[in-house]
Structure 1
Amino acid sequence: MPPLKEVRIAVAGLLHETNTFAPGMTNVDAFKGEWVEGRRAFYERYAGTRTSMGGVIDAAAKHGVELEPGLYAAATPSGLVCSRAAEALIESVVASIDPAAAGLVLIMHGAMASEQYDDVEGECLRRIRARHGSGLPIALTIDLHANVSPEMTNLADVIIGYDTYPHIDMHERAEEAFELLLRRILGEIEPVRAYAHAGMLIVPQAMMTEEGAMKSLMDRAFELEDDPRVLNVTVAGGFPYADVPDAGMSFVVTTDGDRALADTLAAELVRMAWDMRTQFSIAQSPPSEAVAAALAEPEGPIVLAEGSDNVGGGAPADATHVLACLIGITKPALIVIRDEEAVARAFGIGVGGYFACEVGGKSDRLHGDPVAVNGKVRLLFDGEYRHAGPYMTGQRADMGKTAVVASGLLTLVLTEKRTAPWDLGHVRSAGIWPGDYHMLVVKSAIAWQAAFGPFARRVIYVDSPGCCSANLSHFNYRKLRRPVYPLD
């Protein structure tokens, strides 16, 4: 091998969590907000950030390896990716990979699906192999909510999934992937993988890695990784809002040349998960009961987690099931709603003007009907901020034009774009402090905790209709491999 300073490692990525039950289709334009190509653009955007891309940059610098960034494109979770977009995205990523690279770090989600491909990650890996050869070492990083397929496991040398939810370790996992890839290039290890599906669909609210059954699985995975023969254990909780054959919880165990050991450990984790299956259930309350329970609490903030409209799961962010219960509220409440028409109305009125408009419920009927809101426009701004908290620190966020409207004791933040509440900048950029409210409505399953968790005196999970509902009986699965718990 040449000296490390002469080793070139490529990095590229395509990241989208696809909710096949969400309204609308996802096209190439959805990725234009984070379409980063080439070394200069990659370093300018991601150097110093606590992202997967930042982790790869830091690992390359640590080991004195030349990094050759290709294309990285990402979009906010949303509906099925259309055929044309999938072809263009996959081909662009494959073509951007340096053909002279000694290895590749590929950053993907693991739950991307299109009209023609149930497993976009697997298809992307297949095309990379076809163009760059079966001998190219590849380390694939995936989200904890990945729906891992056998093809992904067969075509990547190393698969590294996040260990945390909320996902605050993506930087570390990218560093881990880089280092295992480098060891593979240097001939120090010979990774072999075992894949096992648990036969279970788990909702995101049950995947908090600091408590309950998910913590038990993660703790066991970490114990297994203490064995020097074990290179990595990935616990993938899966993404239940994708109607694809391999949706659900799975495990990938990577060992140094010992396939029998990998198979044994993967099977052990499946048995452990199955034995704890009833512990993955979630208690929820209908919107009116959730609001009443929050009002009955003497002190707040009380977080109302409206997971059915989870932006991070592909939902439209304009559900009104909770909003309808907050009109005329008797204690201060805060909610963020995506509504381009309402934002345009607020900007037309101007700061200090009287706002009267129907808000939300404009994507489809599943997520509720528009709600009449009367109030005062308090603030207008461009909606841009950077993450300052532990989740993707330094990452740019863009809510589009944003308006703050006060309607009695209810404060609405109205945005043009769907933006997940993963960082305090979600409201701090609008001059809002969460501690000032008795109720905080978050359109998220668990990832909101990275930003708002420290404020919550109590969390109430809301059971409402929506494309990310924790009640999986709402969904009509056609492609999912059956039987699967808890549906069967």
Structure 2
Amino acid sequence: MNSAKKLKIAVAGILHETNSFAPGKTGTNEFMDKEWASDAEIFHNYYEHTRTSMGGIIDAVRDSGAELACGLYTGATPSGMVTADAADFMMDTLVASLDKAADGIVLVLHGAMVADGYPDMEGEILRRVRHAVGPDKPIAMTLDLHANVSAEMVGYADVIVGYDTYPHVDMYERAVEAVGLLIRTIHKEVVPVRVLAHPKMLIVPQVMVTETDGPFRELMELAFAIEADPGVLNVTVIGGFPYSDVPDAGVAFIVTTDGDRKLAEKYAEQLRTAAWERRDRFVLNDIPPAEAVKLAFAEQEGPVVLVEGSDNVGGGSPADATHVLKHLIDAPKRSLIVIRDKEAVALAHELGVGALFSAPIGGKSDKLHGEPVPVSGKIRLLSDGLYTHIGAYMTGQRADMGLTAVIESGNLTIVLTEKRTAPWDPGHVVSLGIRAETYHVIVVKAAIAWRTSFGSICKRIIPVDSPGCTGSSIADFAYEKVKRPIYPLDAEG
């Protein structure tokens, strides 16, 4: 009998990308409102047959013949600091939910979660799990490419596997890889040895793209070449999350070998050096809003995508910045923008389809992201905002924009949402009857992940330089806790 059939694998996770510069706090309700699963029926109904980390774990455990023991799995849309009460409640719940009799544990974590009193949430989660299950129980974890990796994280986990892509279209495959390495570790077929290297660099998400040529793709290709060494189990390239002001923020590399620390150290140093040599190439040349909009309308062919990275929903921004919107009110060509505004969308639902909408929208979270902009137009459609991912990112995952309204104001189509909605999947507009390819200008509140929605149709990309808590200028942020020196805050990291 295959011994793998006797194995039991416990799974749990808490996912949050915390922007310590973003307005507001993130409490337990934000997690429960988005996803909160703790039993096998919910896991299978919600995640099975999806191209997600949990979908990959479910399939990999089943295909190995092992049994899956489901613990707490929760996550919230990237946002501001997590409260201490929420952090303690979720960590206590996660540890209590784990099947301590399992042969191994796989944790689905982000890597850039920060709470009041817990600057390294993933390290604290792992510490508590390790204390609960003992020193010898193998633990694997998956990480986002935008993690901020600490020595504690690398010390407490036996297997660490991060995404290789941005947009993150390989989370399913990386979860399968993590489960495979965990099972090999349980069977003592391999002895994972991990080495962490920090080149002391902060870079913004917009320059971490892996699908086109550039310095970050070069680092990823170097990692793939290193993984071809039979002694190497995994190489994880981490871009970091610069909007979390924590000691270990920034680019990092984790090299895992089969029992060979010197080999891991050699490759980790090779990657660290390669990143440092490319530091001056991680520069984003973005354009002020008025000029960017003018350039977009001057293009003969669309869609032209205006990348409003300073209001990147996937990086914790409020999704209501108006720095670009105010230049689109009298758009000469068809334009599309999504804005989160609870008050405005509630008004639209009160007025009804076909009614005239007239109210200021956006700019309500704080002053940094702009002032409300008066808008008048016709309410074309109202929706509950529910849709399913139909693109390459988290295919099959259900999503919720909250109450949603489509306002037509001349050539400008405004999608008002109750909840902050990242443009990760074409379903967020397809579900509203919007054909994105018919627009000349599309504004995305994202950095790179929008490509899984509109990348195949856009004719030109214009990065916009505007104020916001996910802005492209590292020097604009008041860092207090990150380890110094670090480039580009300091000439030499």
Q: Which TM-score band applies after superposition, normalised by the shorter structure?
A: over 0.9
Q: How far off is 1:131 after superposition?
A: 1.1
Query: For 1:173-232, what per-residue CA distance to the aligned partner results, in whole angstroms no more than 9, with x for missing partners?
Result: 000000000000001000000001110001000000122001100001000001110000
Give ranges in structure 1 of 5+ residues lacking alignment: none
Task: Give the structure 2 partner of residue 172 of structure 1.
Answer: 173
Q: Does 1:460 align with 2:462?
A: yes
Task: Give the structure 2 partner of residue 97 of structure 1.
Answer: 98
Residue identity in the other structure for 1:189: V
Residue identity in the other structure for 1:156: A
The 8 Å contact of residues 305 and 461 in structure 2, kept in 1 or not, is answered as yes
Query: For 1:277-314, what per-residue CA distance to the aligned partner results, in whole angstroms no more than 9, with x for missing partners?
Result: 11110110000000000011011000000000000000
Provide the secondary structure at the position in 2 that maps to 1:221. helix
Task: Give the structure 2 partner of residue 24 of structure 1.
Answer: 24
Task: Give the structure 2 partner of residue 59 of structure 1.
Answer: 60
Residue identity in the other structure for 1:174: A
Which has the higher mean CA deviation after the structures are superposed, 314-323 or 62-71?
62-71
Calculate percent identity across the aligned residue pairs: 60
Query: For 1:115-138, what per-residue CA distance to the aligned partner results, in whole angstroms no more than 9, with x for missing partners?
Result: 101000000000011111111100
Give ranges in structure 2 of 5+ residues lacking alignment: none
Residue identity in the other structure for 1:161: G
Provide the secondary structure at the position in 2 that maps to 1:166. coil
Query: For 1:239-277, what per-residue CA distance to the aligned partner results, in whole angstroms no more than 9, with x for missing partners?
Result: 000000000000000000000110110011000000011
Task: Give the structure 2 partner of residue 253 of structure 1.
Answer: 255
Residue identity in the other structure for 2:274: M
**Structure 2: how far apart are the matches of 1:198 and 1:333?**
41
Provide the secondary structure at the position in 2 that maps to 1:455. coil
The 8 Å contact of residues 397 and 419 in structure 1, kept in 2 or not, is answered as no
Give the TM-score, by structure 2 length.
0.98
Task: Give the structure 2 partner of residue 440 of structure 1.
Answer: 442
Q: How far off is 1:144 after superposition?
A: 0.3
Structure 1 segment 37-436 matched on structure 2, within 5 A: 37-210=38-211, 211-436=213-438
Residue identity in the other structure for 1:21: F
**Structure 2: how far apart are the matches of 1:85 and 1:322?**
35
The 8 Å contact of residues 223 and 237 in structure 2, kept in 1 or not, is answered as yes
Provide the secondary structure at the position in 2 that maps to 1:432. coil
Provide the secondary structure at the position in 2 that maps to 1:435. helix
> Cα RMSD between the aligned structures?
0.8
Q: Does 1:3 align with 2:6?
A: no
Residue identity in the other structure for 1:418: R
The 8 Å contact of residues 420 and 443 in structure 1, kept in 2 or not, is answered as yes
Provide the secondary structure at the position in 2 that maps to 1:444. coil
Residue identity in the other structure for 2:471: S
**Structure 1: how far apart are the matches of 2:14 and 2:145?**
16
Q: How far off is 1:3 after superposition?
A: 2.1
**Structure 2: how far apart are the matches of 1:346 and 1:38?**
38
Runs of 4+, deviation exceeding 6 Å: none
Give the TM-score, by structure 1 length.
0.99
Q: How far off is 1:2 after superposition?
A: 8.1
The 8 Å contact of residues 475 and 488 in structure 2, kept in 1 or not, is answered as no
Query: For 1:29-70, what per-residue CA distance to the aligned partner results, in whole angstroms no more than 9, with x for missing partners?
Result: 000120011111111111100000000011012111111111
Provide the secondary structure at the position in 2 that maps to 1:251. strand
Residue identity in the other structure for 1:195: L
The 8 Å contact of residues 399 and 418 in structure 1, kept in 2 or not, is answered as yes
**Structure 1: how far apart are the matches of 2:102 and 2:381?**
50
Residue identity in the other structure for 1:241: Y
**Structure 2: how far apart are the matches of 1:319 and 1:17?**
20
Provide the secondary structure at the position in 2 that maps to 1:147. coil
